[in-house]
Chain A
Amino acid sequence: MTENTKRGEVAAFLTQRLAEITKRDPSMITGSSVFVDMGLQSIDAVLLCGEVEDKFDIELDPASIFEHDTLDSFLGLIDERIAAQ
């Protein structure tokens, strides 16, 4: 799988889950969307980290989603973790 394909897969997964959790249309979620502005609660943000760990077989610090508070920024962190494997 190429890096772009993998990034696309992660982006699709996050977009879908964020849409489900915050009850909004996926088309409304962009790379610059800020998690807090979307209404993502802190506990849901932490649990989303766990879902990413399970799905993509990486480890994330629980604080990482708060330090990377937009979709693009969080995707960048996940890219780094996947590349580091």
Chain B
Amino acid sequence: MTTWYLGLSTSGHDPALAIADEAGQIRFAEATERFVQDKRAWGIAPDHVTHLEHALKACGADPERDRFVVATSWKAVKASLDIVVHDAMLPASDTIWMRGLQAGLQASAGANLLRLGVEDGRRETLHFDHHHCHAAATAYFAPVDDAVCLVLDGEGEVGAASLFSMSSRELKRKWRGWGPGSLGTFYAWLTFHCGFDWRLGEEWKVMGLAAYGSILPELQGEMTRLLLVDHGRLKFADNETIAAIDALTRAHARMPAEPIMKAADLAATGQAVYAALADRVIADVREDGVPDLLLTGGCALNSSYNGTIAGRLGFERVHIAPCPADDGNAIGAALLAFMQDRGVAGVPASPDASPFLGTVPDRAIERKMAHAANGLSVTDVSGRSAAAVAGRLAEGRVIGVMRGPAEFGPRALGHRSILADPTRPEIKDRINAEIKGREPYRPLAPVVLEAEVGDWFERPQPSPYMSITLPWRSTVQVRVPSVVHADGTGRLQTVSPDSQPWMSALLDSLRQTTGVPVALNTSLNVMGKPIAHSVEDALAILATTGLDGVLCEDYLVEKP
């Protein structure tokens, strides 16, 4: 009988499952939204029956014989705490709604194992602290054994910030914030005032828009007063102060139907306020002799800010997992269950820090496709797929790729990506308008070789999971116009031949064809939809957008 550790993200938004084996290694991890193709998958069970069935099969788990330790990403049911919901920043109805979802998912976690044949005696359920799950998931991917680990998110068990120290991979909490006070809530509030919806995950739009605006100094000063930072702990100002600052902010706000650029100055101001407040927290958590910071929680998706940390504020390096938000807590919960069940003190380390932990494309579909192309050309490019795709990109074509296990986390890192040649200035508008169907200002990201990152970027540092934004060197911006944002930055992914041989080969091919070893990489989806999960999803994007082709493993499917 084998024991499996099934981690479930039970927040109510961004559900996900992760399965660790008896050695504490993650064998499979995937967000529910990918499987059900519903963005953020609000309220859907992270152990959704058919998704769970697929995941168990992918691991080789046997529901008829094996033992399953189920772990949720929350210790408590938020709704059971009888306190008045803080509603000065966001409507109480949203918070009450989310707490209801969380209560339901906490209660039903793991029940779907019964449907798959797991008898109750071979199933037990554990509950882990939310921020502890964030910290454990981040530690799994960290390339160091000793670090300061800071969690910043929308809401934890009692507050929205926790500090852990990691020594020889053992995590120990040093403190946690209590009560209302949250950088995640601040950014959600900002997102609403910019005319976007945090419930749809549109914080990205604010961050991207900030590059087009100018900071409004007076508003910046006022907005900074929304949150007090005391020894790293966050606390909202009193309700009267918040109401006054909210009124000032409304003068610069944008309604959803208004032109997007109306909110650019507010976005720039809010992003600067976020950075100033996060700076205060990080400055408070530095430790002498500890140069590495693990940053996690949903706020660790603020790539614009993340790129400013290393070399400043007392930390030489910052490490961010591919999945710092609540989906990643499925991994954290699975690992904590393994550690508790096995009496292991330290968080296991991933052997290769690979983010590719999800579903593999269905090979049978590929074979069928070859016989039912309906006007598309299907070419077997086995053994030469990187060069074949690079060749198409150099011709100005835009190609989707679906190769190997899917990425875990919000970024497409080359396995579920849309790739293009960034030297072509027109390609950004084409991708935004004709393929992704999104706003023209939205930036697109570059991939560069890790060994060459200093040739392209200021403050060069590894960014294997596209977690940080850095300024392009001024002399190279003209060579890659489609991936230079309005403020001269790029949210880069770095790859090496060891970690990503296929993408590295593609960049080398581009060096030979375009003279520029940089690829444009954006996620294989259309606006409002999750990243493609199945081969059918990928082909639907090909059929319904201006995409020129899709590489499904070794088959290149192309329009004439």
Does any Cβ of A come within 8 Å of B83's Cβ? yes
Does any Cβ of A come within 8 Å of B126's Cβ? no
Contact present for A50 and B83 (CB under 8 Å): no
Given A49-B158, A62-B76, A63-B76, does the pair A42, B82 have CB atoms closer than 8 Å?
yes
Given A47-B178, A50-B178, does the pair A59, B173 have CB atoms closer than 8 Å?
yes
Does any Cβ of A come within 8 Å of B364's Cβ? no
A47-B175 Cα distance, complex, nearest whole Å: 14
Contact of A43 among B75, B84, B176, B177 (CB under 8 A): B84
Contact present for B76 and A53 (CB under 8 Å): no
CB closest chain-B residue, reference A50:
B178
Contact present for B176 and A46 (CB under 8 Å): no
Given A59-B173, A62-B76, A62-B158, does the pair A50, B82 have CB atoms closer than 8 Å?
no
Q: Give a binary string over A45-80; 1 marks a CB under 8 Å from any B CB, 0 the rest.
A: 011011101100001011100100000000000000
Contact present for A62 and B81 (CB under 8 Å): yes
Contact of A50 among B81, B159, B173 (CB under 8 A): B159
CB closest chain-A residue, reference B83:
A42
Interface footprint category on B: 10 to 19
Q: Give a binary string over B71-82; 1 marks a CB under 8 Å from any A CB, 0 the rest.
A: 000011000111
How many A-B residue contacts, CB cutoff 8 Å? 40
Does any Cβ of A come within 8 Å of B202's Cβ? no
**Residues from 123 to 162 in B contacting A, C-beta threshold 8 Å:** 157-159
A66-B83 Cα distance, complex, nearest whole Å: 10
Does any Cβ of A come within 8 Å of B179's Cβ? yes
Contact present for B84 and A46 (CB under 8 Å): no
Contact present for A50 and B84 (CB under 8 Å): no
Contact present for B82 and A66 (CB under 8 Å): yes
Contact present for A50 and B76 (CB under 8 Å): no
Residues of A near B76 (CB, < 8 A) are 61-63
Contact present for B179 and A47 (CB under 8 Å): yes
Contact present for B83 and A46 (CB under 8 Å): yes
CB closest chain-A residue, reference B180:
A43
CB closest chain-A residue, reference B235:
A47
Contact present for A63 and B80 (CB under 8 Å): yes
Residues of B near A53 (CB, < 8 A) are 175-176, 178
Contact present for B158 and A50 (CB under 8 Å): yes
Question: A12 to chain B: closest CB distance in Å?
Answer: 21
Contact of A62 among B157, B173, B175, B177 (CB under 8 A): B157
Residues of A near B176 (CB, < 8 A) are 50, 53
Contact present for A49 and B178 (CB under 8 Å): yes
A78-B177 Cα distance, complex, nearest whole Å: 19
Contact present for A46 and B177 (CB under 8 Å): no
A54-B176 Cα distance, complex, nearest whole Å: 8
CB closest chain-A residue, reference B178:
A50
Residues of B near A63 (CB, < 8 A) are 76, 80-81
Contact of A46 among B75, B80, B173, B178 (CB under 8 A): B178
A50-B557 Cα distance, complex, nearest whole Å: 58
Question: A26 to chain B: closest CB distance in Å?
Answer: 23
Residues of A near B159 (CB, < 8 A) are 50
A61-B177 Cα distance, complex, nearest whole Å: 13
Given A53-B175, A53-B176, A59-B173, does the pair A46, B158 have CB atoms closer than 8 Å?
yes
A66-B80 Cα distance, complex, nearest whole Å: 11
A42-B82 Cα distance, complex, nearest whole Å: 7
9 A-B residue pairs with Cβ-Cβ distance under 8 Å, sorted by A, are A42-B82, A42-B84, A43-B84, A43-B180, A49-B158, A50-B179, A51-B178, A53-B175, A53-B178
Known: A42-B84, A46-B179, A50-B178. 12 other contacts (CB 8 A): A43-B83, A43-B84, A46-B81, A46-B178, A50-B158, A50-B159, A50-B176, A53-B178, A54-B175, A61-B75, A62-B81, A63-B76
Leading 8 A-B pairs by shortest Cβ distance: A50-B178, A42-B83, A47-B179, A62-B158, A43-B83, A47-B178, A62-B81, A63-B81
Residues of A within 8 A of B (CB): 42-43, 46-47, 49-51, 53-54, 59, 61-63, 66
